Amino acid sequence: MSTKAQLTEENQALLSSLDLFQERLAELEQALVTSDWTKIGGDSEKEFTRAALRKINHQARIYWLKNPLIKRAVAIKTAYTFGRGVTMQADHPEVDAVIQEFMDNQKNRAEFFEHQSRMLRETELELFGNTFFVFFVNPSTGRVLLRSMPADEIEDILYNPEDAKDPWYYKRVWTQTETDLVTGVARTVAKSAYYPDWRNNPKNDHPKDIGGVEVRPEFVYHVAINCLGDMKFGVSDVYAALDWAQAYKRFLEDWATIVRAYAKFAMMVTAKGGKTGVEAARSKIQQVLQSTPAVQAGAAFVGQEGTKIEPLKTAGATTGMDDARRLMLMVCSATGIYETYLTGDPSTGNLATAKTMERPMELMFTDRQQLWKDVIHDILQYVVDQAALAPNGLLTGTEMEDGFGERIITLPLDPETGEPISRTISVKFPPILEHDIEVMVQAISQAATLGGSPMAGTLRPEDVTKMMLEALGQDNIDETLELMFPEDGSAPKPGAEEALLRAVGRLTEVLGHAG
């Protein structure tokens, strides 16, 4: 073969190898969008596409309904966040009247301000990574109706082109079923609309439409978790755990299949004589089973010399069930829930974990409570704003702008203080852990007296009393304090003694149980 022909052949072989290599790379890229991986894309390479997030949300929903590990992880975090409730109260009675009316509204209670609805909002936030609240405001009275939109219906978020941290509008795409009440015929209608962000000043000249899509007057409050600062949407809290929960499930299913296979053979018979001996033993056992109506427990098998019957031994013959623990621990790592809490197995805990909680878990639950504190505070401040700006609202306010052009709404002066009415709203969660009441009472007493019998002056009597009542779990603490310590400095009002006796009775009960 000539040199030219040889080079041509080698070049053709290299080209064939290159084609094969490129084909393999294409297969690897395609593997990134299979069911085992979800492709990151969209406008940038920083977050999932909306289609991918909807797929993750769908998987999270299914796993929450079916997979015990995911369901329990979500339930534990929800219970520690809202399980003991939350209290909301404004310092000033006029402001408090506004927020209490808002929270007492039956529709608002169904959305967020009753126990079951709060637990549902937290569960959805964990599963879908996003919550979108919508404010419907009565323009005359300023009263606010709170609602939420499904996370999957929000298609995009438009930001201030000069400030990527300033969301302007949320694009919602959804289908709505409309029924003709005369004919009873139902039809599905596709709809879309933009909703302004709650911080987008309503005095701005909002367009009537964006690209032909209607701009609605209702404002949206977006809560997102498990995301970075340059991501538009949050990601499901359980996303990192889904694959490992599935692997754990498959492992246990395979283990159960092996156990079922073992169950088909309970005894092992060994006979001499080769094939003839085995056939003779099989025939004899079959004859015994057919001729004996019922074999009682503890019966003896009698066979010829050389025939041996014994239970089939399976111990150590295959992978054990407990070998799946490493897979389950990956679910623990992804969700932040320790093994003892996730499985409910007391053998993995000890006395310390029974009385306390591992610090990382405690901080994780406290962090989630702080998130909801901020959300609730923002919502209630928005409600106060609307009551102050509406012509027939329960409050009167003055709208101003700060140095950054952001609006500020101040309330009128309080006649008693000469200062603007306080807008301070307290949002309080009970402690994550129920500490030993006796220890807490002794600690408060030590702080108030510095170890001596009389008050040391380090704390006011009313503050000490409030802390004591809170530690004892007393109800109506503010009413009790008002009876015992009137604002005008006068003597305790009627009923103060009875309230104090109830608290003392509670303390006696606690100390009695402790003794």
Cα torsion angle, 372, 378, 384, 386, sign: negative
Looking at residue 295, the DSSP 8-state letter turns out to be P
- Render pLDDT for 354-405 as a digit per residue (tens, 0 to 9): 455 688 899 999 999 999 999 999 999 999 999 999 999 999 988 888 777 7
Stretch 157-182: mean pLDDT: 91
* pTM recorded for the entire structure: 0.74
At how many degrees (to 10) do helices 115-128 and 68-82 cross?
A: 130
Q: Are 404 and 199 in contact (CB under 8 A)?
A: no
Query: pLDDT tens for residues 346-356?
Result: 666 554 554 55
Q: Find all residues with CB under 8 Å of 78, minimum gap 6, and list them.
A: 119, 122, 123, 126
Determine the pLDDT at residue 431.
82
Residue 18, pLDDT above cutoff 70: no
pLDDT at 179: 86
Task: Identify the weakest region by mean pLDDT among 188-197, 292-301, 408-417, 470-479.
Answer: 292-301
Angle at CA 67, nearest 5°, toward 64 and 69?
Answer: 95
Q: Which residues does residue 149 pair with via DSSP β-bridges, in sequence order?
A: 132
Question: What residue spans of 200-306 are helical by DSSP H?
Answer: 239-263, 274-291
Residue 464 has a pLDDT of: 72
Contact criterion met (CB below 8 Å) for 382 and 199? no
Question: Among the listed ranges 44-53, 121-130, 414-423, 457-466, which one has the minimum average pLDDT value?
Answer: 457-466
> Band of the pLDDT at 312, cuts 50, 70, 90?
low
Helix axes 437-449, 496-514, angle to 10 degrees: 120
Q: Cβ(208)–Cβ(184) under 8 Å?
A: no
Placement of tokens 């006696």 in the chain: 508
pLDDT at 298 > cutoff 60:
no
3-state SS of 10-56 is HHHHHHHHHHHHHHHHHHHHHHCCCCCCCCEECCCCCEECHHHHHHH
Asked if the model's pLDDT at residue 43 lies above 60, the reply is no
The pLDDT assigned to 495 comes to 60
Does residue 127 contact residue 238 with C-beta atoms inside 8 Å?
yes
CA distances from 56 to 194, 235, 247, 271 (A): 24, 8, 17, 59
As a whole number, mean pLDDT of residues 285-312 equals 63
Q: How far apart are CA 235 and CA 242, in angstroms?
A: 13
